[in-house]
Amino acid sequence: MDTDETMRLDVFLSRVRLVMPRTSAKRACDNGIVWVNNRPAKPSTDVVVGDVVSVQFTNQDLTVKVTRLPGKSVAKKQADTHYTLIEDRASTNDQGSECAD
pLDDT digits (tens, 9 = 90+) for 46-81: 999 999 999 999 899 999 999 999 988 889 999 999
Q: Rounded distance, CA 84 to CA 8, Å?
A: 18
Please report, rounded to a whole number, the percentage of residues in the chain having pLDDT higher than 70.
86
Please report, rounded to a whole number, the percentage of residues in the chain having pLDDT higher than 90.
79
In which element (H, E) is residue 44 found?
none
Q: Would you kindly state where each structural domain of the chain is located, as residue ranges?
A: 7-90
pLDDT at 3 exceeding the cut of 70: no
Q: What is the pTM of this model?
A: 0.84
The domain covering 7-90 belongs, at the CATH homologous superfamily level, to RNA-binding S4 domain (3.10.290.10)
